[in-house]
Chain A
Amino acid sequence: MRLLFVTVLALSLATFVGIGTTWMTATKGTDLGTLTIGSWTARPKTGTADIDPYSRATIVRNGELPIGTGDGVAFTTVSDDKKRPLDGRCDVVLSGVTPPARFWTLTLYDGKGHLVANALQRYGFTSQEIVRAADGSFEIHVASRSRSGNWLPTGGIERYQLMLRLYDTPVGVATRSQREAPMPAITTVGCPT
């Protein structure tokens, strides 16, 4: 009787721990091979044959196709520079410069990686569409209500994520620091309370 209890306890614990950790790593990801610059993170190795098993599991579970290294690299963020989660009801400003690349695209997704519907049918920007200052720097306003300049609508959803993809870029597996890849700053400037 006691043996049975012990076996059942060990096996159920094993199932719980095993499946639980797998689910956690497949949904939230791991820090393996992660390049973090400001609040942006990228996993350049997911675009190569050297991809780690955890990223593979995440990609297969999401049903996405990772961007290939010969094509570009993708940076994502779910929070601003002060670690505050990106909120679609707030005004968020992206400003500064981007790493060297032939061009880039910025896209807003919901938590599951779907585009967010809005009246303007604007889901992101390409580097060629952006209105810039004389020195080449730019500001993008991510907000639910219309803004002058570069306005990226959030559709008012509570949580969103931004993805900045650099195409034909030297940034990749060998990149380590902000100096090689200066990413734009993200600031929450105001929230209606």
Chain B
Amino acid sequence: MIRLALTIVAGVILGGIVHLVSVLALPRIASHDAYSRLTPMTELNAVTALPSADPSRSPMPFMDPAFAMAICRYDLSAGPLKLTVPVSQAYTSVSFYTRSEIAYYAINDRSAGKKVIELDLMTEAQHDDLPEDEEVTAADRLIIDSPSTTGLIVLKALAAEPGLMPQAQASLAAASCRTQTEPAPAKQAKR
């Protein structure tokens, strides 16, 4: 009888360990996460517009139908990324996600405070390699450190009414995200 009780206790404790391991492992082994879903329909290091949310075809659950959305799926292994998003009339935001969907940074048009949201995205190692030039680190150049080499940038523009959707989509169509071919700091330092 004692042996049976001990067996059950051991089983439950082991079960707790299985639970913790599986919860922590789930983000690594999941194959239908947002990044995997978006991979076939988006280009790497370029802005791809997503079709507007619709009952029959939505790339992801819980999408907000009031927004035009575009995705920049990035890979920083070839160098830092430059992101330029013109602000729409209503509301524009840019959110950054790691490969495993952790939202590590988000900014909207008002917090950016400009007509165009301009950002440089790089890994921490690339950030450390930047020459320490005061002009380069000036406030007008916003640098975001990505915790992972790959990830997603989500660009959103509000269509306050369904009729404004084409305008919101058009403003996102003017956004760009591309790998910086030559190091930008050298160029800026010459000025």
List chain B residues, Cβ under 8 A from A49.
102-104, 147
A sample of 14 cross-chain residue pairs with beta-carbon separation below 8 angstroms, ordered by A number, consists of A13-B11, A13-B14, A14-B11, A14-B12, A17-B15, A22-B23, A53-B23, A56-B101, A57-B26, A64-B61, A72-B93, A102-B110, A115-B63, A126-B161
A10-B14, A60-B100, A63-B34 are known; give 7 further A-B pairs, CB within 8 A. A53-B23, A60-B27, A64-B101, A65-B97, A115-B58, A115-B63, A123-B53
Query: Once bound together, how far apart are the Cα atoms of A48 and B95, in whole Å?
Result: 11
Does B79 count as interface, using CB distance less than 8 angstroms?
A: no
Query: Once bound together, how far apart are the Cα atoms of A74 and B160, in whole Å?
Result: 17
List chain A residues, Cβ under 8 A from B100.
56, 60
- Whether B15 contacts A21 by the Cβ 8 Å rule is yes
List chain B residues, Cβ under 8 A from A70.
93, 95, 105-108, 111
- Whether A18 contacts B14 by the Cβ 8 Å rule is yes
From A19, A61, A123, contact of B18 by CB (8 A): A19
Query: Once bound together, how far apart are the Cα atoms of A54 and B22, in whole Å?
Result: 10
List chain A residues, Cβ under 8 A from B93.
68, 70-72, 167
From A54, A60, A61, A115, contact of B65 by CB (8 A): A115
Does A146 count as interface, using CB distance less than 8 angstroms?
A: no
Mask: chain B, 111-126; 1 = CB below 8 Å from A; 0 = not: 1000000000000000
Does B17 count as interface, using CB distance less than 8 angstroms?
A: yes
From B16, B26, B32, B161, contact of A129 by CB (8 A): B161
- Whether B11 contacts A10 by the Cβ 8 Å rule is yes
Stretch from A79-87, A106-114, A177-185 at the B interface: A106-114
List chain A residues, Cβ under 8 A from B8.
9-10, 13
List chain A residues, Cβ under 8 A from B22.
18-19, 22
Does B135 count as interface, using CB distance less than 8 angstroms?
A: no
- Whether B65 contacts A107 by the Cβ 8 Å rule is yes
Mask: chain B, 126-164; 1 = CB below 8 Å from A; 0 = not: 000000000000000000000100001010101011100
List chain B residues, Cβ under 8 A from A94.
none
Query: Once bound together, how far apart are the Cα atoms of A14 and B14, in whole Å?
Result: 5
Query: Once bound together, how far apart are the Cα atoms of A77 and B57, in whole Å?
Result: 24
Does A173 count as interface, using CB distance less than 8 angstroms?
A: no
Which one of A57, A114, A129 has the highest number of Cβ atoms from chain B below 10 Å of its Cβ?
A114
Does A117 count as interface, using CB distance less than 8 angstroms?
A: yes
Query: Once bound together, how far apart are the Cα atoms of A114 and B65, in whole Å?
Result: 11
